[in-house]
Amino acid sequence: MSHLRVEDLWRYLDGELTVTEAAEVQTHTMRCPMCAERLEHTRQLAARLETALRAAVPAPRATFHDDVVGALHRGPREHAPERRWRWKATGAAAAAVVVAAGAGWTLAERGWVPGGGAGSRQGDQSVAVRNAPSADNLVEVGAGTGTSSGVTVQNLVNQPLSSRATQLPLLAKAASAVVAGSAEVTVDTASGAPLAGVHVVLIAGGRILHTLVTNAAGQTPRTNLQLAVDPALAPILSGAEASLSPQGDLVVVVWRTGYRPIVAYDVGVFGNGDGTFTQTFTMQVGAPGETPERVGYGFDTGPYSSYHVLAGQALAAWAASLAPGSGTSVQSRRPASDTQGGLSIHVQDPSGRPVSGASVRILAGVHVSQLQTTDANGNTATIQTPGIGDWRFSGPWNVAGPPEVATVIVWKDGYAPAVGYDEPVRAGGTRTLTVQLEPIRWRQSHGWDNNLGAASDIAGTRLPSPEDAARFVQWAQSQS
């Protein structure tokens, strides 16, 4: 009789074995005194570990909970952090959204076409940006039914994905082309002291929008900004009706002689609908020419730090609701490029087993690819798709336009869908993309306690390269 492995004993105690496997452990330990003793030792060790770790933690002061609740009621500035996080804190003002009609749209055009100068100090420095918004693409789309912001994905997981289309905000009704608001940047040192004389350069869509300098308090003046909405999200943003507020992309370059420069690739700017964007940077002392520090919201892995779970859910539901068969065309303010690249999708579950029968569509601007289904090996045929420009990486060095990307949507009933917003498309090339689809039951068994049907982010970490960040710094320095 072979003995039980220690790992199996732990899995038994952790409740990770199936009913059958657990019964086998119980039967075995009844017959095998050695394994019964091991199991008891393991159980004791688990208890001792917990006790030791718990005993070390000091009890909270009696008023702790009340203190926390009191702190929550105070405004952000009152607990302003000597230890601030880099990311934005937002207020609660109304959104200053420029809607897609009339003057707002005109602003969008003037602000984003090559060489357009309104509101930009550096108009002549702008570069040719392909896929810039065009009024020709501004068409009111009526497919969206609209819903309140309180979409609870968990409650929908037992329904076929396609039936959710009527319950989620989909294509935009009069989606905003531009999102506007004000930005303020604060810079301090590692010791928390405000840093004056720091150059802060705001860049979007291949244009330098503002060059600012921090004052004695380490702050830039609050500056009004107009940003084009995130091109990957543009088709599903629908103003007040959507679960997502219109939001833009912004690159912030922070530099001062003697300090390591910082390049922040921001997404979701003004996305909280309050029309303000504040950001704090902590600069480290550094040598000239040191590789810039890169920070980027939306580049991390993980279901919450990938951006826009709700957008993913809406996209997947929308894709599932399309009639099967040939490719289709949707109305979008983002034209697709005229080049085509190939994407071959491999779908697997968290154990690495291929998932057959999964549906795949690729969205790029107005173009939606033909519906593809994975075969027994989890593979699709190569899907040809155009791309849209990823403006986060636009600068004078991308003279032919920014890198092109497309949105990949994968879904199957019983699984959480997966969405990749910015999957690179190489003109004339073919790329294989592996997508993990997580079964709802798998998520339940792995501790998910809400939003079981939330879309996974297909791509892993995709922080821009140090070279890209260095180019932004050089560009900013040349214009400051």
Partner 1 sequence: MRCPAGMCQERFCEFGCLREYEGLVRNLVYHITHNPNDVDDLTQEILVKAYQSRNAFRGGNFRAYLCRIARNHCYDALRKRRLRSEVTLEDAAVEQWAVSAETPETVALADESTREVYALLTELGETDREILVMRHLNDMSYQEIAEVMGMQAGAVRTRVSRARQKVQELLERRAAR
Q: Does 34 bind partner 1 (CB under 8 A)?
A: no
Q: Which of 2, 18, 20, 152 binds partner 1 (CB under 8 A)?
A: 152
Secondary structure of residue 143 in the 3-state scheme: coil
CA dihedral 29, 33, 35, 36 (to 10 degrees): 60
Q: Which residues pair with 456 in a beta bridge?
A: 418
Q: Does 301 bind partner 1 (CB under 8 A)?
A: yes
Smallest distance from partner 1 to CB 438, Å: 10
Smallest distance from partner 1 to CB 88, Å: 8
Q: Which amino acid is residue 264, in one-letter code? A: A
Smallest distance from partner 1 to CB 307, Å: 7
Q: Does 115 bind partner 1 (CB under 8 A)?
A: no
Secondary structure of residue 147 in the 3-state scheme: coil
Stretch that binds partner 1, among 64-72, 135-143, 168-176, 199-207 (CB under 8 A): 64-72
DSSP string, 405-441: EEEEEEE-TTEE-EEEEEEE--TT-EEEEEEE-EEHH
Closest CA relative to residue 389, chosen from 379, 399, 374, 380: 399
Smallest distance from partner 1 to CB 276, Å: 12
Smallest distance from partner 1 to CB 83, Å: 6
Q: Does 190 bind partner 1 (CB under 8 A)?
A: yes
Q: Which of 272, 331, 479, 480 binds partner 1 (CB under 8 A)?
A: 272
Number of chain positions touching partner 1 (CB under 8 A)? 68
Closest CA relative to residue 170, chosen from 273, 319, 377, 382: 319
- Cβ contact 277:183 at 8 Å: yes
Stretch that binds partner 1, among 127-135, 136-144, 288-296, 300-308 (CB under 8 A): 300-308
Q: Does 50 bind partner 1 (CB under 8 A)?
A: yes
Stretch that binds partner 1, among 44-52, 104-112, 164-172, 381-389 (CB under 8 A): 44-52
Cα gap 231→150, rounded to integer Å: 24
Stretch that binds partner 1, among 69-77, 175-183, 253-261, 286-294 (CB under 8 A): 69-77
Cα gap 325→244, rounded to integer Å: 29
Q: For residues 212-251, which are near partner 1 according to CB under 8 A?
A: 243
Of 190 and 287, nearer to partner 1 (C-beta) is: 190
Q: Does 55 bind partner 1 (CB under 8 A)?
A: yes
Q: For residues 362-421, which are near partner 1 according to CB under 8 A?
A: none
CA atoms within 13 A of residue 59's CA, in its CB half-sphere? 3
- Cβ contact 283:252 at 8 Å: no
Cα gap 449→466, rounded to integer Å: 37
CB neighbour list of residue 15: distance below 8 Å, 6 or more residues apart: none
Left (φ > 0), alpha (ψ -120 to 50) or beta: where does 135 sit? alpha
Q: Does 80 bind partner 1 (CB under 8 A)?
A: no
Of 308 and 333, nearer to partner 1 (C-beta) is: 308
In residues, how long is the chain? Answer: 480
Q: Does 132 bind partner 1 (CB under 8 A)?
A: no
Q: Does 64 bind partner 1 (CB under 8 A)?
A: yes
Q: How is residue 212 written in tokens?
A: 């600012």
Cα gap 40→243, rounded to integer Å: 52
Of 48 and 441, nearer to partner 1 (C-beta) is: 48
410: how many CB neighbours lie within 10 A of its CB?
A: 29
Smallest distance from partner 1 to CB 158, Å: 17
Q: For residues 342-361, which are near partner 1 according to CB under 8 A?
A: 350
Residues that bind partner 1 (CB under 8 A): 6-7, 10, 41-42, 45-46, 48-58, 60-61, 64-65, 67-69, 71-73, 76, 79, 81-83, 85, 87, 89-90, 148-154, 190-192, 243, 272, 300-310, 350, 446-451, 454
